[in-house]
């Protein structure tokens, strides 16, 4: 009898987390933390500005990968985080957002909190365990 071992390769993830920040070192740090916490459950993408983020969402969708979460900086070239969240929400209301900021003032934070898509706001530097916990409570699964 010829016994074949089943193919143990997992299929590629069909859900993605998109990280948006104009500082590459921040992007790399967040993605490293996400991979450590969630392994290969998600695809991890990055964008350095809002136009790149919109393109990444569209490109992933064409590949059959759904962006379920955006982790975004508040202060980016050409757009604030609350404006970015609003723009994404109009096109993709199903995408959840975690905002990471070191510069948003009280009024901006209040606007961000009012967005239905926002599941968390973290200050810089953020706590990796807190970031992972927010994701587990809201989108992991």
Question: How distant, in Å, are the alpha carbons of 4, 53, 88, 103, 105 from that of 24?
Answer: 45, 14, 21, 18, 23
The answer to whether 50 and 79 are in contact (CB under 8 A) is yes
pLDDT at 91: 92
Q: Is 5 among the domain residues?
A: no
Q: Is the pLDDT of residue 6 over 50?
A: no
Question: Tell me: the pLDDT tens digits for 78-116?
Answer: 888 888 988 999 999 999 999 998 776 677 777 777 788
CATH number, domain containing residue 124: 3.40.50.2300
CA distance 113 to 88: 15
pLDDT at 140: 60
What's CA 117's distance to the chain center, in Å?
Answer: 12
Domains in the chain, number? 1
Q: Is the pLDDT of residue 130 over 90?
A: yes
Angle between helix 106-114 and helix 81-91 axes, rounded to 10 deg:
10
Mean residue pLDDT of the chain comes to 87
Question: How distant, in Å, are the alpha carbons of 33, 66, 80, 115, 127 from that of 87?
Answer: 27, 17, 11, 11, 27
Question: Tell me: the pLDDT tens digits for 36-81?
Answer: 999 999 999 999 999 999 999 999 999 999 999 999 998 888 888 8
Q: Is 122 helix (H, G, I), strand (E, B) or coil?
A: strand
Q: Is 3 among the domain residues?
A: no
Q: Is 56 among the domain residues?
A: yes
For residue 34, give its domain range.
15-138
pLDDT at 94: 94
Q: Is the pLDDT of residue 1 over 70?
A: no
Q: Is the pLDDT of residue 7 over 70?
A: no
Paired with 123 in beta bridges are 101
pLDDT at 141: 54
65 Cβ contact list (under 8 Å, min separation 6): 12, 13, 14, 15, 16, 43
Q: Is 97 among the domain residues?
A: yes
Global pTM reads 0.87
């Amino acid at each position: 009898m010829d016994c074949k071992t089943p193919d143990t390769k997992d299929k590629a993830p069909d859900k993605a987390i998109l990280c948006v920040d104009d500082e590459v070192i921040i992007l790399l740090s967040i993605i490293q933390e996400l991979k450590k916490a969630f392994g290969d459950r998600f695809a991890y993408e990055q964008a350095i500005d809002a136009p790149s983020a919109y393109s990444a969402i569209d490109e992933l969708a064409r590949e059959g990968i759904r962006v379920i979460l955006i982790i975004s900086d508040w202060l980016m070239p050409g757009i604030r985080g609350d404006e970015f969240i609003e723009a994404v929400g109009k096109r993709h209301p199903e995408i959840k957002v975690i905002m990471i900021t070191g510069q948003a003032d009280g009024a901006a934070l209040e606007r961000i909190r009012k967005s239905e898509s926002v599941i968390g706001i973290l200050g810089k530097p953020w706590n990796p365990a807190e970031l992972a916990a927010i994701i587990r409570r809201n989108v992991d699964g």
